[in-house]
Structure 1
Amino acid sequence: MIEERIRQVFAGAGAEGQLHVLPLHVRAGAAGEAGAEPGAHEVAVGADAPVVIASIFKVLLALEFARQVVAGQLDPRERVRVTAADRLGGWGTAGCLDDVELSLRDLAHFAMSVSDNTAADLLLARIGLDTVRLLAKELGMERTRIVGGPRDLLESMLAEVGARDEREFAVRYPALPDDRKRRLAVLDPRHTTASTPREITRLLQLIWSNAAGPPEACAFVRDLMGRQVFRHRLVSGFPDDVTVAAKTGTLPGLHMEAGVARYPDGAHYAIAVFARTHDLAASRPTVDTAMGRAAGIAVGYLRESGNSR
């Protein structure tokens, strides 16, 4: 049974996994015009159970930004200054040592390509948290909850650990017992930004079918997902001639990625994979490889099933 095989892949990496993979029907020569493949199978492992989505929420963020640009509500060239007060630490502008100035669309680029948390927060402040929440509802993502941006999640973690800033958190967090670490609200889908694997593949399906907004907005998000620099999860499970456009998410003990794999024959597959490790010190490369392998196994099964129909 394909589902049990996938569970064993995760178990071998010391993790529990959830996954949903869905073939998309893309018309020849019409990139971006995709829907669920008629009569298609799916592979679902815990696909309807809630999951923390962390930075995967940035796909919705980028989509709402693009929709507002197309509607003429925002000028993508509008300049934003990133100061020390904005920076969270990490990739992109979040890790800069000096103030920088860039456009709104470059904030979107950094938020998606290198998962820049500061860029995401500034973009979210410009377009509005409530509009992103309303977008999820509009797209039928009824079980998706967005509690805030990266800074909100970080401040939640600092408060729970009793740290005043990131530096103090870096000292206090490692000293906590594992069971206390696992009880952090940001790791519990009941209390943080969350969805289900099935709703995430629905979002991807709508973006790839130009049904999540104007075609220009959907194309913008697809392009940004294709620019992601992290190639250690989904990509690791596919041959070199398969292109993957995706967005990762990571929190202590949680590893996730959502994306679309495109084969040379034109076949597309929407994929959402989530892994929770039993051991918070588990090897990340081992878990990341398991995620790619699970996705590759699921897509391989769907391709074989499709060829046999």
Structure 2
Amino acid sequence: MGTPQPSEPAKTTAMLRRSHRKTRRLPRRAAIGRRSFAATTRALEGLADAGAQVSVHVKDLDTGAPVLTGDDHVTLPIAGLGIVPLLIEVAARFEDGSLDPLEIVERSAVEPVTASGVWRNLRTPIFPLADLATLAAATGDPLAVNLLLERVGHHSVRERIDALGLRRTAMLDRFRDERGPDDAPHVAVGTTRELAGLFSALVNSKVVDPAVSAQVSEWLSLNHDLSLVAASTGLDPFAHEHDAHGLLFINKTGRDRGARAESGVLGGPRAGISYAMIVGFDDLSIAHRLRVHEAFRILGLELMEYAH
């Protein structure tokens, strides 16, 4: 995936303090210059004042300078966003020949997951591993993810995460319909600082090697979930690889009850940026949920302004 054209480095970083302290208002630092994230900061402050945990990190792709940060060191649940290290491990194994991308695996090899997913509704009970990676990246299919995790081994994903230098990110478990007391409480956890850095490294061909970076970026470019940050891009969820207006975009989202997460890269004619945002909230009503989704869309609008 190409690197966006160079731009002027951003001049400021908007800082947010610990968001889980609902009795303290988050301090703001005004942005200097035309491209600020003031609306995003206000939206996140509002969520934090209502008791949500918020974390955000946005960085310029060319300079590496952060342009918006807030609690970006705090580890939070990230649900399906946490499969990105698994995809990296699978791509690395395809590349070094230790895993055959055409190896056929059967759906029945793992326990059913009936709460979500595409494959559970398909007639075919088998897929090659390469197609499972595509399905996992494009739709977050839990059966595809679980089979890939079963095939490469949880320990290998942990080792890959360590090799990538991710100290506060972990894939803890597979997808399940129900989580018992003996199961990990979440599929995955992570920080926005590490996730934004990981996506930056992917598009700059620095994850494992250029071939692996390109393969994972290609899989992620197929992601259908453009309903959070990406809702503000106007891209077609089912065909956004070659945008007529020159947008370069890859992303991955994570959703669970009371948790929303997204990380990705947006490149436009003026700048390229990597971003990550996580919000943990009380999912007490549709209104609570929609307020969180709106904050992601506000970030998307300001990312578009920055890139364009």
TM-score by length of 1: 0.75
Q: Is the 8 A contact 1:81 1:99 kept in 2?
A: no
Q: 1:277 aligns with which of 259, 266, 281?
A: 281
Partners in 2 of 1:85 and 1:149 — Cα distance?
A: 10
Q: Is the 8 A contact 1:21 1:272 kept in 2?
A: yes
Q: Is the 8 A contact 1:232 1:289 kept in 2?
A: no
Deviation at 1:217, TM superposition (A): 1.3
Q: Which amino acid aligns with 1:46?
A: D
Q: In the TM superposition, what whole-angstrom CA distance separates every residue of 1:185-226 from its partner, at most 9, and x where no partner exists?
A: 736xxxx62121101112112211221112121111111111
Residue 66 of structure 1 aligns to a residue whose secondary structure is helix
Matched, 1:59 2:63: no
Q: Kindly tell me: are residues 279 and 107 of structure 1, through their superposed partners in 2, closer, same or farther at Cα, counting changes over 3 Å?
A: closer
Q: Which moved more, 1:254-263 or 1:237-246?
A: 237-246
Deviation at 1:84, TM superposition (A): 8.6
Partners in 1 of 2:251 and 2:272 — Cα distance?
A: 13
Q: Which amino acid aligns with 1:122?
A: L
Q: Kindly tell me: are residues 74 and 61 of structure 1, through their superposed partners in 2, closer, same or farther at Cα, counting changes over 3 Å?
A: same
Q: Kindly tell me: are residues 275 and 47 of structure 1, through their superposed partners in 2, closer, same or farther at Cα, counting changes over 3 Å?
A: same
Q: Which residue of 2 aligns with 1:23?
A: 60
Q: Is the 8 A contact 1:17 1:276 kept in 2?
A: yes
Matched, 1:92 2:118: yes
Q: Kindly tell me: are residues 149 and 185 of structure 1, through their superposed partners in 2, closer, same or farther at Cα, counting changes over 3 Å?
A: closer
Partners in 2 of 1:186 and 1:282 — Cα distance?
A: 24
Q: Which residue of 2 aligns with 1:244?
A: 249
Q: Which residue of 2 aligns with 1:205?
A: 200
Q: Which amino acid aligns with 1:270?
A: S
In structure 2, runs of 5+ residues without a counterpart are: 1-12, 16-27, 29-37, 236-244
Q: Which amino acid aligns with 1:149?
A: R
Q: Kindly tell me: are residues 42 and 52 of structure 1, through their superposed partners in 2, closer, same or farther at Cα, counting changes over 3 Å?
A: same
Q: In the TM superposition, what whole-angstrom CA distance separates every residue of 1:226-263 from its partner, at most 9, and x where no partner exists?
A: 10111111112346543431111011011111111111
In structure 1, runs of 5+ residues without a counterpart are: 26-36, 163-183, 305-309
Deviation at 1:298, TM superposition (A): 5.7
Q: Which runs of 4+ in 1 moved over 6 A?
A: none
Q: Which residue of 2 aligns with 1:30?
A: none
TM-score by length of 2: 0.75
Residue 86 of structure 1 aligns to a residue whose secondary structure is coil
Partners in 1 of 2:85 and 2:184 — Cα distance?
A: 22
Q: Is the 8 A contact 1:84 1:98 kept in 2?
A: no
RMSD (Å), alpha carbons? 2.7
Residue 218 of structure 1 aligns to a residue whose secondary structure is helix
Q: Kindly tell me: are residues 237 and 10 of structure 1, through their superposed partners in 2, closer, same or farther at Cα, counting changes over 3 Å?
A: farther
Q: Which residue of 2 aligns with 1:258?
A: 263
Deviation at 1:292, TM superposition (A): 2.3
Q: Kindly tell me: are residues 17 and 7 of structure 1, through their superposed partners in 2, closer, same or farther at Cα, counting changes over 3 Å?
A: farther
Matched, 1:111 2:136: yes
Q: Kindly tell me: are residues 84 and 105 of structure 1, through their superposed partners in 2, closer, same or farther at Cα, counting changes over 3 Å?
A: closer
Q: Kindly tell me: are residues 285 and 84 of structure 1, through their superposed partners in 2, closer, same or farther at Cα, counting changes over 3 Å?
A: farther
Partners in 2 of 1:137 and 1:131 — Cα distance?
A: 10
Residue 221 of structure 1 aligns to a residue whose secondary structure is helix
Q: Which residue of 2 aligns with 1:232?
A: 227
Deviation at 1:78, TM superposition (A): 0.7
Q: Which amino acid aligns with 2:278?
A: F
Q: Identify which of structures 1 and 2 has the higher relative contact order when contacts are C-alpha pairs closer than 8 Å and 6+ apart.
A: 1
More helix by share: 1
Deviation at 1:23, TM superposition (A): 1.0
Partners in 1 of 2:231 and 2:133 — Cα distance?
A: 25
Q: Kindly tell me: are residues 259 and 117 of structure 1, through their superposed partners in 2, closer, same or farther at Cα, counting changes over 3 Å?
A: same
Q: Is the 8 A contact 2:78 2:259 kept in 1?
A: no
* Equivalent residues, number: 259
Identical aligned pairs, as a percentage? 24
Q: Is the 8 A contact 1:113 1:227 kept in 2?
A: yes
Residue 58 of structure 2 aligns to a residue whose secondary structure is strand
